């Protein structure tokens, strides 16, 4: 399990101290930093865009993993790349020409990711697997932190793992990842874990370290 990646979602952090909150999870052992970008259109919530990503980029040298819950995504890919994102994930449901969007992300020098919502079948990504570095299986309906893990996604995670085969693609899950769910998710085949509320609860660096240790042990 040495290859498991923990990516705290800053959605559950204190936005008034965003840079410090990113530095704190970095020091506490985060592997990646997960950035939830929401537009109030594809999802019923609004968060932040490229200027905020650029402003906090200096807070950590770790992999900035942008999860774009925006529709359309294409007009903003370059701005997120320039803001310092290392990986950019777009939703299959929000991207009309998914193959083109994924090529564009790689052309910008970023790792390309594709996300699917809980109700989207895994066949949505079948023909883009050679264009991606990451597949994100959403385990809640995107829009908010702190929701309950949707158990029907476990079966889908296993199917996506089989589809990936021996390609060098990370299989990420996002939503409701906590010590009481992560064991089953690992068993289903995921290797990259987004956690918001389960990491940021407690509100200080010692708590963040303990929370990430608890995820790794579970």
Taking the least distance from each CB to ligand DX5, the nearer of 169 and 195 is 195
If one asks whether residue 174 binds Zn ion (CB under 5 A), the answer comes out as yes
CA atoms of 150 and 188, how far apart (whole Å):
14
CA atoms of 42 and 72, how far apart (whole Å):
9
* Least distance in angstroms from the C-beta of 69 to ligand DX5: 6
Residues 23-82 that bind ligand DX5 (CB under 6 A): 34, 36, 67
Q: Is 36 in the active site?
A: yes
Report residue 95 as tokens: 């991207």
**Strands, E assignment, the chain:** 5-8, 32-38, 63-69, 87-91, 111-116, 134-138, 170-174, 192-195
Chosen from Zn ion, ligand DX5, none, partner binding at 143 (C-beta under 5 to 8 Å by type): ligand DX5
* Least distance in angstroms from the C-beta of 130 to ligand DX5: 25
Cα distances (angstroms) measured from residue 67 to each of 88, 210, 218: 6, 25, 25
Q: Is 3 annotated as a binding residue?
A: no
Q: Are 178 and 198 in contact (CB under 8 A)?
A: yes
Taking the least distance from each CB to Zn ion, the nearer of 106 and 144 is 144
Q: Is 203 annotated as a binding residue?
A: no
CA atoms of 160 and 150, how far apart (whole Å):
16
If one asks whether residue 177 binds ligand DX5 (CB under 6 A), the answer comes out as yes
Q: Are 59 and 84 in contact (CB under 8 A)?
A: no
If one asks whether residue 39 binds Zn ion (CB under 5 A), the answer comes out as no
Contact range with ligand DX5 by CB under 6 A, out of 20-28, 56-64, 74-82, 135-143: 135-143
If one asks whether residue 195 binds ligand DX5 (CB under 6 A), the answer comes out as yes
Number of residues near Zn ion (by CB under 5 A):
3
Among 134, 137, 80, residue whose Cα is nearest residue 111? 134
**Strands, E assignment, 53-200:** 63-69, 87-91, 111-116, 134-138, 170-174, 192-195
Q: Is 109 annotated as a binding residue?
A: no
> Which one of 39, 133, 174, 191 is the catalytic residue?
174
Under the rule (CB under 6 A), what is the footprint of ligand DX5? 9, 11-12, 34, 36, 67, 140, 142-147, 174-177, 194-198
Catalytic residues: 36, 174
């Amino acid at each position: 399990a040495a290859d498991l990646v923990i990516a705290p979602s800053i959605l559950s952090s204190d936005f008034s101290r965003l840079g410090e909150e990113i530095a704190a999870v970095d020091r506490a052992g985060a592997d990646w930093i997960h950035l939830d970008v929401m537009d109030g259109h594809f999802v019923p919530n609004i968060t932040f865009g490229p200027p905020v990503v650029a402003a906090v980029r200096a807070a950590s040298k770790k992999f900035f993993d942008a999860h774009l819950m925006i529709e359309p995504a294409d007009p903003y890919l370059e701005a997120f790349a320039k803001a310092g994102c290392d990986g950019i994930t777009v939703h299959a449901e929000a991207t009309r020409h998914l193959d083109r969007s994924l090529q564009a992300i790689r052309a910008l020098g970023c790792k390309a990711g594709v996300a699917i919502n809980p109700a989207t079948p895994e066949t949505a990504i079948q023909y883009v697997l050679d264009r991606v570095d990451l597949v994100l299986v959403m385990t809640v309906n995107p829009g908010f932190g702190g929701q309950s893990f949707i158990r029907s996604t476990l079966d889908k995670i296993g199917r996506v793992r089989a589809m990936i085969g021996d390609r060098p693609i990370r299989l990420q899950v996002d939503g409701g990842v906590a010590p009481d769910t992560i064991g089953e998710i690992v068993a289903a085949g995921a290797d990259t874990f987004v956690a918001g509320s389960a990491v940021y609860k407690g509100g200080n660096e010692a708590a963040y370290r303990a929370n990430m240790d608890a995820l790794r042990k579970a």
